[in-house]
Amino acid sequence: MKRRVFCLLLMLVMTTALFSVSALAEASESASAPVFDLEQGTVLLNSGYTMPIMGLGTYSLTDEECYNSVTALLEAGGRLIDTAYMYHNEASVGRAVRASGVPREEVFITTKLYPNQYDNADRAIDEALRRLDTGYIDMMLLHHPAHNDAAAYGAIERAVRDGRVRCANVSCYYIREIDRFLPKVSLAPALVQNELHPYYQDSRATQYLQGLGLAVQAWYPLGGRGYTERLLADGIIREIAAAHQKSPAQVILRWNLQRGVAVIPGSGNPEHIRENLSSFDFELTGAEMEAIRNLNRDEKHDWY
């Protein structure tokens, strides 16, 4: 009897594992690898849409500061804006985009659902659309893994099918999280947004995600508020910046771009916003890329 139960259990485990592996393979097979273009400053996503690889992060920017920062970005030629329900500034982002005179189809807007919205994700997507008031959302992310994330992602998939959202994506999904998540969804994400900077490079997860055909985008690309000063003062970064007559921030952003990682530096300072956008007119050498690679300390600056 015991043996029969054991065999049944074994069969169940094997069937589940086989199903997961084939769903994972399906997700990666259906995905074509993202095509990164440093000349154009864009990446062609597996969803078929082109996304700028340099944008503006709006975490902690309040109403007018957010409006002014998005305006400065668009005036300087930047076209990618990252916001979230949790940043409470989607309305300011939408207002600045509408006031800019830049055609809607030239702007790429990313927003996110927070776990406390996952149980009512269809409604949350409609509310984000109403707050942004930009017709559609280019990219909708799940902000964090959670027990009900696959169901919430299903709502984003429905929004992709009816054109309210263009790409479905996730954030804070590392190897374990993405392996658990992919077998549960039918539309492969186009992008994963994770913490990445010279002190936390997470090359293993980054390469793993890229290998699955997903674009990777760095949050906290400059280390995150409270850590930025220390990172920008790093001796190696400053030396490389001086050699190229660029700023330490530009060197860090450029390093990520050259390793195929898109960036969304946060800033409420129009000068910094313009400076960050100007990270395309120089190239780090192999030795400089290696020197920055050696700065990794596996030092994560946030818990998620």
Q: Is the CB of 109 or the CB of 264 nearer to ligand NAP?
A: 264
Which of 193, 261, 255, 197 has its CA nearest to residue 226?
197
Q: Is the CB of 234 or the CB of 275 nearer to ligand NAP?
A: 275
Query: What is the Cα–Cα distance from 72 to 230, expressed in whole angstroms?
Result: 26
Q: How far is the CB of 286 from ligand NAP (least distance, A)?
A: 25
Query: What is the Cα–Cα distance from 295 to 293, expressed in whole angstroms?
Result: 5
Q: Is the CB of 160 or the CB of 231 nearer to ligand NAP?
A: 231
Q: How far is the CB of 12 from ligand NAP (least distance, A)?
A: 35
What is the binding site for ligand NAP (CB under 6 A)?
57-59, 82, 143, 171-172, 193, 219-225, 228, 232, 247, 249, 264-269, 272, 275-276, 304
3-class state of residue 229 by DSSP: helix
Q: Is the CB of 54 or the CB of 125 nearer to ligand NAP?
A: 54
Owner of token pair 């000349």: 39
What burial letters (b/e) apply to 14-45, b meaning 16+ CB within 10 Å? eeeeeeeeeebeebbeebeebebeeeebbbbb
Q: How far is the CB of 238 from ligand NAP (least distance, A)?
A: 12
Owner of token pair 């539309």: 187
Q: Is residue 115 exposed (0-12), middle (13-18) or buried (19+ Cβ within 10 Å)?
A: middle
How many Cα atoms sit within 13 Å of 28 on the Cβ side?
14
Q: Is the CB of 78 or the CB of 223 nearer to ligand NAP?
A: 223
Q: Is the CB of 20 or the CB of 300 nearer to ligand NAP?
A: 300
What type of residue is 66?
C
Which ranges of 101-188 would DSSP assign to H, the alpha helix?
121-132, 149-161, 175-181
Enumerate the active-site residues.
87
Query: What is the Cα–Cα distance from 12 to 25, expressed in whole angstroms?
Result: 20
Q: How far is the CB of 265 from ligand NAP (least distance, A)?
A: 4
- In this structure, the strands spanning 80-82 and 108-113 are parallel
